Structure 1
Amino acid sequence: MRHALPLALAALLLGGCASHKPEDFNGTWINQAAIDAAVKGTSLRQALSEHGPVFEWKIDVKNQQASFSNGFEAADGRLSANEKNWQVSFEGGQAEQLKLDGDELQAIDPSGHEQTFERSKAPGNAPLGGSFEKALYQAYLGGDWKIVEGQGKGAVVRFSDTGNVTGLPGPDRFALCLAGDCATMGDGNDSLWLERNQRGAPWIFKRDGDTLEIFQAVNRAQPDEMPQLAAGARQWVLEKD
């Protein structure tokens, strides 16, 4: 019952300004523009940087909650109605505006920077950030890749949207670097983590259309400095079938 009055007020405030019902905002929304740019381009890092910083929103109108993920950390906010749309208030006084434009969600930060999100097609029980990651993995690395150079030449490699990898000699798990420390340490390079039995290491990669090159990661920083990873010896060349 404690939500009835805020929701009624929200409906009244929004009724004259938009044709959308409050519940139309519910669900998980992903940054499809960043995914599309990554697939079309040659640099994952550049695509995520240009279309970030937020990659996913989760909105729960009934409980007046909204959360976002930037691929490294998450923020939880309180959802409320303002004169035109919705406002999400975070600790520290930061607030973002949310509105619907057709089937797309638009988020506007205090500086006026606007991002657009599409409703996720994945089940709604994925952890925050997981729906964007799943969609990115499907679009960016999905399908069959054949090793044309390196150990295991001739094998078919498959990267699953759950982080499993088969066909590469050694590793059985992977994760793309989206943001945070791994992006900083990558020094502008695209990087991924490969592991087996919870033991792994970062690698540098370059994807150009249907060709994926994976390089050993060489740390060029001094021992007392933050690692700065550069491409070393090329380990594998994969081509998409």
Structure 2
Amino acid sequence: MSVGLSGCDEANVTVNGESGVPLSELDMTGDAPTEVLLAGPDTIVITDGTKLAIDVEGDAKTVAAMRFSLKDGTLAIMRAKGNWKDGGKATVNITMPSPEALILAGSGTINAASLASQADVKILGSGKASTASIAADKLEVTVAGSGTYLASGVAKALDLTVAGSGSARMGGLKVETADIKIVGSGDAEFASDGTVDASIMGSGDVTITGRATCKVKSMGSGTVTCQNVTQETE
């Protein structure tokens, strides 16, 4: 994931140095994107398909303010400068192959049907992302802020970081191995019958259902709920 995101708020954002164009001006003749980025308060719905297709729903003013960029494999959706506080929200419907990466910056929502076998999810802010059906060899998830990620399916390896007060609510996701880092008051849940390494700094909580064996390093009042727990010391 090599996306350059700049701008101190949702109102003034550029991605890979671009502020985007209206959908009617977006060149979609090349390869379908592998990554999707949302910066702003809107909603993205991603449906599986072999070719890229995009349409936007919402009131006329909000739809007119939407901007799109497709560069270096990243499809970015944002607002025209200064056009995000009018109260309206748009829904962007995207058909594309299963994305390798989802990036959510701001207060919006991304709902994806699936992810690629090697996938990376980043939630930076207060937004919410979800994936209905995961079948991954490796899944990396970062929740930085107060956002939420929801997921179901299976993954051979999970690498999860929650920094802040966010949540990774993945009770329907079963993994073989997991490396978990919680910094702050955030929480996480998932299922495993394999091995889990967990590090907690703060008051966050991790709940693992199943028959997992967990090695835990903790500083603070945070807890790990797991069938077999080994507490490690520094």
**Shared topology, TM-score over 0.5?**
no
The structure with the greater share of residues assigned to strand is 2
The higher-RCO structure (CA 8 Å, 6+ apart) is 1
Q: TM-score, normalised by structure 1?
A: 0.29
Q: Which has the larger radius of gyration?
A: 1
- The structure with the greater share of residues assigned to helix is 1
